[in-house]
Amino acid sequence: MDYKQPEVIYEDEYIAVIGKPAGLIVNRADTAKDVETLQDWVDNKLKIKNSKLKITDETKDFLERSGIVHRLDKETSGLLIIARDYISFLDLQKQFKQGRVEKTYVALVHGKITLPEGEINVPIGRLPWDRRKFGVIPAGRESQTFYKVLEYKKIKYDKKEEDLTLVDLYPKTGRTHQIRVHLRYLGFPVVGDELYAGRKNFKNDRKLLNRHFLHAEKIKFYHPQSEEILEFESPLPQELVDFLSPLT
């Protein structure tokens, strides 16, 4: 899957907020060897203040992640915060842990969510029988997502009409694949989701869209130095706009 270059939406000497395109892996990993990641882009394009910082147990996370405070899945587009120095990194991590960072995602899902808004609060953990996937399991970590229905759509697959729902999502925790797993748990998987939409849905979706329909649209947090409230918004990428436009 080809991807566009990241977009710098805001930057000062302490932080940067970027728009990540779909298709770009965030962090370097053994499973992503010989693949350019967002972390590579950060190292090349942004000046992170780490030249005099020694690697210790405390600074290791900041240095190894190039200041990237949180993550998005490979096919999820949208807003990410990057700290340009160690103190800002610690402050932003603390904000995430304390729930002071407010995030809004938008997703298009299979099916018609009849309740206009609600809460999904079930534990999530890695599935022992498939290490690529996460699911709702008793031994999982507490996970909470609120949602609000935006509008209903219809799509035709092989002459059969199906319901879709456009929905805003507000995760209060940050578990891996949280939104995707929670929506699957409700019975409304994200359109184009390779892991959780089901084989038939995924096959039909990928005829029309080469990614899953999940976008990190808004983020609100406190500047790590000034404590000023910062809010940013990223419009839907063109490929998602183009997918929505012909739907009734």
pLDDT tens, residue by residue, 176-215: 999 999 999 999 999 999 999 999 999 999 999 999 999 9
- CA dihedral defined by 221, 222, 223, 225, rounded to 10 degrees? -150
Task: Give domain status of residue 103, yes or no.
Answer: yes
Domain count, the chain: 1
Task: Give domain status of residue 1, yes or no.
Answer: no
pLDDT tens, residue by residue, 117-172: 999 999 999 999 998 999 999 999 999 999 999 999 999 887 889 999 999 999 99
Task: Give domain status of residue 27, yes or no.
Answer: yes
- Active-site option among 34, 57, 73, 242: 73
Task: Quickly state the pLDDT bin for 50 (edges 50, 70, 90).
Answer: low
- Tell me the one-letter amino acid at 143: S
Q: Is the pLDDT of residue 4 over 60?
A: yes
Pick from 81, 124, 104: nearest CA to 215: 104
Q: Once rounded to an integer, what is the mean pLDDT over residues 203-231? A: 97
Task: Quickly state the pLDDT bin for 3 (edges 50, 70, 90).
Answer: low
In sequence order, which residues have a C-beta less than 8 Å from that of residue 127 and are 6 or more positions away? 133, 134, 135, 137
For residue 177, what is the domain's CATH number?
3.30.2350.10
In sequence order, which residues have a C-beta less than 8 Å from that of residue 168 and are 6 or more positions away? 104, 105, 106, 147, 148, 150, 217
pLDDT of residue 28: 83
Task: Give domain status of residue 34, yes or no.
Answer: yes
Task: Quickly state the pLDDT bin for 63 (edges 50, 70, 90).
Answer: confident
pLDDT of residue 94: 96
Instruction: Give the pTM.
Output: 0.93
CB 26 within 8 A of CB 68: yes
Task: Give domain status of residue 201, yes or no.
Answer: yes
- CB atoms under 10 Å from CB of 33, counted, come to 7
Task: Give domain status of residue 2, yes or no.
Answer: no
Say which range, 5-19, 48-62, 212-226, has the weakest mean pLDDT: 48-62
pLDDT of residue 215: 98
Active site residue 73: yes
Task: Give domain status of residue 21, yes or no.
Answer: yes
pLDDT of residue 30: 64
Q: Is the pLDDT of residue 105 over 70?
A: yes
User: What CA–CA distances, in Å, run from 37 to 68, 79, 116, 168?
Assistant: 12, 16, 37, 27
Q: Once rounded to an integer, what is the mean pLDDT over residues 29-50? A: 78
Q: Is the pLDDT of residue 51 over 60?
A: no
Domain that holds residue 51: 7-244
What is the overall mean pLDDT for the chain?
92
Task: Write phi, then psi, for 20 (nearest 5 degrees).
Answer: -85, 130
pLDDT of residue 32: 62
CB 63 within 8 A of CB 83: no
Quickly list DSSP for 108-139. EEES---SSEEEEE--EEEETTEEEEEEE-TT
Q: Is the pLDDT of residue 85 over 60?
A: yes
